[in-house]
Structure 1
Amino acid sequence: MASNAPASEAGKNGPLSFMTKLSPCVYIYRPSNTGDRSVSTPAAESVVSARTTPHQATTTPKFILLATWMGARDPHIAKYVLPYQALFPSAQILLIRSELRHFAPLMRGRTAASDISPAVPVLRSFVNEIPSGENGRPEMLVHIWSNGGSSSLSLLHKLLLSKYPDLEFPRHTIVFDSCPGQFSYWPGYKVAMTGIPPWRWLRFIVSPFIHALTAWTWVLYLLIGKRWKRFQGLLAELSEGHNDLVSPGNRAGREVCRTYVYSDTDELINSTDIEEHAADAKRKGLKVRMEKFEGSQHVAHVRADEGRYWRVVKETWEGTD
């Protein structure tokens, strides 16, 4: 199905069927008229209430990159994609999904790269369309959820650098939703189990293997990683990468501003991990905004206050505090 099909029609065949599927984990949406900022889709407007969501932004990103939490299902993903369509109707949207297999030690590199690599030429094509010269304004809005989205963004950038080492990451703003976090045993186990279908018999069979994987990661992180940095684990690597201003590619250096959306009642990500990460970003000169929601759960802050959530997204793009 064409990626510019109206969401109201495409939705009949699945919540994300209005997007073009490039791989099991990569989707692209291109508006039918990218030059018309008044364009929107009926389905997008129907799920975004005027009471709770800000009107279309005064400026629009040319490109939106969305990287979801691990195991996110189509209906839940669509509840974010459709409001983005309504808020920024002329923007192209690149969606990257995160799956449990992307975190399995023996599968991560090859499997995740295979799933995500179709996003590389899409992003490169967008970069080539950006007019030369710096005007200080971002061209792209990035939104990542949980450590799954954090991992997808980092891997996408690595794949981009490996193929096009001289290509700069676009100037962008970014929303960190429920991330980045550090590893701990029970949250790690719960996160892994979210990627398992909700069939009781299957979860009973898989649970011991998830415990074994979590325990091995715990040993690496606590007993080995504390002494040798190279064994600190994937989450520590991701966390450092988002604030890295010196490594090749300098993705963080291409940020205009960032917002952390988080909660102190998140059972999977500790709020202190996020606050420490934000403090480190501030020390390094990055523009940081903190949005702490009260009583909301992991990647569910929009449910606590939909109006505030989308207002924060809009204001992050526009660079307002």
Structure 2
Amino acid sequence: MHSMSATYNRVDEYPMDDTLEYFIKFPSPNFKTESQGAESDYVFVCNETNVPIVLLLGWAGCQDKYLMKYSKIYEDRGLITIRYTAPVENLFWKRTAMVQIGEKILKLIYDMNFDSHPLIFHVFSNGGAFLYQHIALANRRSKKPVQICGMIFDSAPGDRRVLGLFRAISAILGKEKRFNSLISALMTISIILLWAFEDSCNYLRNFLRPWGYEVQTNPTHNLKSESNEWPQLFLYSKEDRLIPYTDVEKFAAYRRKCGVDVRMVCFDRSEHVKHYIRHPQQYVYSVCKFINDCLTTYYNKFHY
């Protein structure tokens, strides 16, 4: 059940669910005058009665205060934003819950009557890509699928690797934690064994029921074969130690062969999910131009 405050204010932020901590931010009616001192140099092609919505899906272990910095890029320019990061436990070991999480996020879109708005996803790392995979699954199963007009992959997606998993867990635990390397190594081994068991079960299940739909544990496998053709922007760096740039480029090349409008921005010397920190102007320009192009196509198509 959703819990919405009776004093809900369109310019403030509120958790939208008792069990899933969504945050939705509506732009102020006079955001153009309020943001005079901010980076409000980019004005989107926009219909005031059908304001675009950006859904930001955080990386594994992402704190909302960090995701908030990215959503502000869009809020300062008059767009509605939804922020959500899947719990670490559901990304790594209790992954069956991801199916329900994807369904709940899709239900949130319907409950807020956002399904008639142009939707853009901005996903970070494999954590965000893995979550999006389950939202997409719920959308395909829906009797009334929502229309998505664009997607941004930030430092994603990448193939599943032992070293990458170890580094991701180390980053989540933090350098200040004692015995970080040992704990990370033990957790990595445990998760790899768990994933191997899940893969075996999936293989057996699909062998017995070949007509069933298998949710891959590796985002690059499922997402590259999606039937959608909405534009996709890839933001990545050759200095990324968690997801190799070659994974991103191979995935993007495959999607391009599928007929998707693919755009790529390779940043210099920026770390994993830190392109905005090192290259703020280029980052903002890249995402804003991409979304504006997507919205132009969307509004022309539906004659708004």
TM bracket (short chain) = 0.7 to 0.9
- Aligned residue in 2 for 1:100: 88
Among candidates 145, 150, 157, match of residue 173 of structure 1: 150
Question: Structure 1 residues 301 and 20, CA, compared in 2 at 3 Å: closer, same or farther?
Answer: same
- Superposed CA offset, 1:176-209 (max 9, x none): 1000001222111111233336652474774343
Q: Which residue of 2 aligns with 1:149?
A: 128
User: Does 2:5 align with 1:4?
Assistant: no
Q: Distance in 2 between matches of 1:156 and 1:146?
A: 16
Q: What is the 5 A alignment of 1:266-277?
A: 266-277=240-251
Whole-angstrom distance in 1 between the partners of 2:176 and 2:16: 27
Distance 2:181 2:115 in 1: 50
Amino acid at match of 2:262: V
User: Counterparts of 1:1-321 in structure 2 under 5 Å?
Assistant: 4=9, 6-7=11-12, 18-23=13-18, 25-31=20-26, 36=29, 38-39=30-31, 48-49=38-39, 54-59=41-46, 61-87=51-77, 89=78, 91-105=79-93, 107-110=94-97, 112-125=98-111, 130=116, 139-162=118-141, 165-196=142-173, 200-201=177-178, 203=180, 206-216=183-193, 234=216, 236=218, 238-245=219-226, 250=227, 252-253=228-229, 255=230, 257-319=231-293
CA distance in 2, matches of 1:189, 1:56: 41
What's 1:136 paired with?
none
**Letter in structure 2 aligned against 1:269:** I
Partner of 1:11: none
Comparing 282-291 with 91-100, which one deviates more in the overlay?
91-100
Give yes or no for contact 1:141–1:172 (8 Å, CA) kept in 2.
yes
Within 2, Cα distance between the matches of 1:302 and 1:93?
18
TM-score by length of 1: 0.73
CA distance in 2, matches of 1:176, 1:267: 17
> CA 1:41/1:30 → structure 2, altered by over 3 Å: closer, same or farther?
farther
3-state secondary structure, aligned to 2:251: helix
For residues 60 and 233 of structure 2, the distance between their equivalents in structure 1, rounded to whole angstroms, comes to 21
- Paired residue secondary structure (2:188): helix
Choose 263-272 or 204-213, whichever is displaced more: 204-213
2: CA distance, partners of 1:220 / 1:182: 18
Q: In the TM superposition, what is the alpha-carbon distance from 1:93 to its structure 2 partner?
A: 1.9
Equivalenced residue count is: 278
Q: How far apart in 1 are the matches of 2:166 and 2:264? A: 27
Counterpart-to-counterpart distance in 2, 1:214 and 1:152: 18
- The TM-score, its normalising length taken from structure 2, stands at 0.77
Q: Distance in 1 between matches of 2:169 and 2:159?
A: 14
CA contact (8 A) 1:243 1:280 kept: yes
Where do 5+ consecutive residues of structure 1 fail to align?
A: 8-17, 132-138
Give the 4+ runs in structure 1 shifted more than 6 A. Answer: 217-221, 230-233
Residue 243 of structure 1, CA deviation: 2.9
C-alpha distance in structure 2 between counterparts of 1:193 and 1:41, whole Å: 43
Q: How many Å apart are 1:158 and its aligned residue?
A: 2.1
Asked if the contact 1:147/1:235 (under 8 Å) is kept, the reply is no
CA distance in 1, matches of 2:127, 2:270: 19
Q: Percent identity?
A: 17
Deviation of the 1:304 alpha carbon: 1.8
Q: Is the 8 A contact 1:41 1:85 kept in 2?
A: no
Measure, in 2, the Cα distance between the counterparts of 1:98 and 1:115: 8
Unaligned runs of 5+ in 2: 208-213, 295-304
Instruction: Provide the C-alpha distance between the structure 1 equivalents of 2:65 and 2:33, rounded to a whole number of angstroms.
Output: 17
Gap change, CA 1:32 and 1:211, over 3 Å in 2: closer
Q: Distance in 1 between matches of 2:280 and 2:95?
A: 34
